[in-house]
Structure 1
């Protein structure tokens, strides 16, 4: 037995598999799964973890929470904490992840095999495929209002599009591609997905429209059962005639347009907070309360929105390679705030100081120097 296998390039990052896993043996984006290598059973000093019929057997009453299993885990999915059942991250072959996946891309070799999904990537600069379900999630995230809906499908105005890839990163069903690449999806968390049983009239329209068949119906009682996690396309919410469904989703920050440029490679808040403090333009924003980091991704949305030419897309050479940067001319800025409104990362802010705008990256690399001084690789120039 090889453990859980996920076709990563096709994953919707809906987190349904991780949500139903009883032992936390799956983490999504970055992907970690238990491989059933059995190393944890071999080092367990008390016999709390043992191998039984090609499975990992766990007896929490024997667990001393020593952490030896987590230390040897090659994928680092194994963890030990003070919450019962203490030792987590080992696959018990329950197959719940396989059953819940809306696009059937999870296999357990030797137990359940799913055929690999073929992904046909358009070569156009930006393309919306037939996988579009018309959910409209991409429309509000576009910083330059380049997406409209026509005949139930998303249509991109290529004269407006700045190819920032936010639409592709956010699309729940992998229907948008930019620059001929599979998009790196934004992680999301379902904060609430509930049905108001007093409002629900049992029409089951929500279940019928769900592209992944993730909403279940108790036909005997005509009760709707919402999933613990899903791609969050909102089709079910939009079609409900009595507003009985509530879906609240939290998205993580977007990724850089390409794999090139200045990128965060490890989200170490303490180090990145120090990097934020040295940034002369406040292009890195640290939120102490939520322990999250936002950073300008040099998408250029602000330069498109700027009516005075105060913001422009420029370039700078580092070690013989050209990189995009944002150039700002303070004397041209009239503080209209249009750039702030379109910034997808919410880093741009109007300022009362000598520089009337903060939050754009000029690629000075002071943050990178700070990270290197801390001797921890949290930022990288690619």
Structure 2
């Protein structure tokens, strides 16, 4: 049985790409794979033709495992195996000689290719342990950055700098804690507001090697963080993989441009993609939402030049700014007075969980670290001893109820 330590998985997709039977699917937030149903595979039990069979397989000296064997000649594509598969990896393809896919044959290719060794086989090779303590690491934490620069271009505020390919990135004070860099990083090297990111999907559309240009320097071999590239000393060339983490470090460091890689990325999910949504077309900058918010987490400048909730006149243009629950304030709070919590809201009749900021005034020592950390200048001191700081969104929804234009909603 193949096992995964998902805590350490970098979602590179190498295991999925190398699996000969399509028994692994790497999703942005999880891994789906055939686990042979605890060595009692249901697909083999229900197959009326005996096309799928479970057999004992000696995987190491004295160690046997159950594997699945498929006989295409016997398969009539009835689909019973697909119906009972608890992992939903089994699929009837209708393709000749490969009528069914998604079953594990224990070939161990996924184990061999994993660059962070988090795939294993109990009793043979245990998956690597992965311990990452983000507590106290602050709004931006960079850990063993390989300097591939994949995150640089995607930063919406150009807050990330890569001085030299292969050297760690730096993040400046313009960072808005949106989290796109963390979702994009192929090697789990950057974390925003102490959160484990849901990775963006990606697909290598092309990865080419021009042997005529290669000078056999092995720069790419030595640079690849996952050891995906191997040297061919006989011909002074290299062998590139069909699947990898897609960081492109090899291509960027190649002195003769013999490598070229193109990657198609899925959409990211910035922290403000979920929570309170605002319909810009409906918003009339009335300020009722800001005046109703119990924690002053919204600021509105009305069309009449009134700043809400302060209720002071200003010459600023009509505007709307709110806490997006990025968690930067909570990541800097040494007393746990501020925390990011999961909260259940209803969207289109369905209950979903969203991040909210929770505040315990009794733990607050008014150090001001949260104020400095807030990238939107929302957190501020108050004169209310029961609420010494304000500006954080608890996702209470009072702003939604107060808006006369129905411009706000949960999303």
TM norm. shorter chain > 0.5: yes
**Is 1:315–1:322's contact at 8 Å kept on the other side of the alignment?**
no
How far the C-alpha of 1:65 sits from its partner, in A, is 0.9
Q: CA 1:57–1:281 in 2, change beyond 3 Å: closer, same or farther? A: farther
CA distance in 1, matches of 2:101, 2:35: 14
Which residue is equivalent to 2:75?
63
How far the C-alpha of 1:311 sits from its partner, in A, is 5.7
1:226-285 C-alpha deviation (Å, 9 max, x unpaired): 11121222211111111110100011111241795279xxxxxxxxxxxxxxx8969xxx
How far the C-alpha of 1:312 sits from its partner, in A, is 3.5
Establish whether residue 185 from structure 1 lines up as the match of residue 206 from structure 2: no
Which residue is equivalent to 2:152?
139
1:137-193 C-alpha deviation (Å, 9 max, x unpaired): 1111110011113572211113x1111000100011111111111111111111111
Establish whether residue 34 from structure 1 lines up as the match of residue 46 from structure 2: no
Which residue is equivalent to 1:116?
129
CA distance in 2, matches of 1:312, 1:228: 48
Which residue is equivalent to 1:52?
55
**Which residue of 153, 156, 177 corresponds with 2:171?**
156
CA distance in 1, matches of 2:269, 2:247: 20
TM-score norm. by structure 1 comes to 0.68
TM-score norm. by structure 2 comes to 0.64
Q: CA 1:125–1:222 in 2, change beyond 3 Å: closer, same or farther? A: same
1:193 alignment partner, SS class: strand
Which residue is equivalent to 1:166?
180
How far the C-alpha of 1:7 sits from its partner, in A, is 1.7
**Is 1:124–1:178's contact at 8 Å kept on the other side of the alignment?**
no
**Is 2:3–2:127's contact at 8 Å kept on the other side of the alignment?**
no
CA distance in 2, matches of 1:109, 1:280: 54
Which residue is equivalent to 1:4?
2
Which residue is equivalent to 2:403?
none
CA distance in 1, matches of 2:409, 2:127: 48
Larger radius of gyration: 2
2:104 alignment partner, SS class: coil
2:162 alignment partner, SS class: strand
CA distance in 2, matches of 1:135, 1:251: 16
1:178-234 C-alpha deviation (Å, 9 max, x unpaired): 111111111111111110112112211111111111101122122211111212222
Which residue is equivalent to 1:313?
321
2:169 alignment partner, SS class: strand
**Is 2:116–2:128's contact at 8 Å kept on the other side of the alignment?**
no
The alignment of Structure 1 onto Structure 2 pairs a total of residues equal to: 285
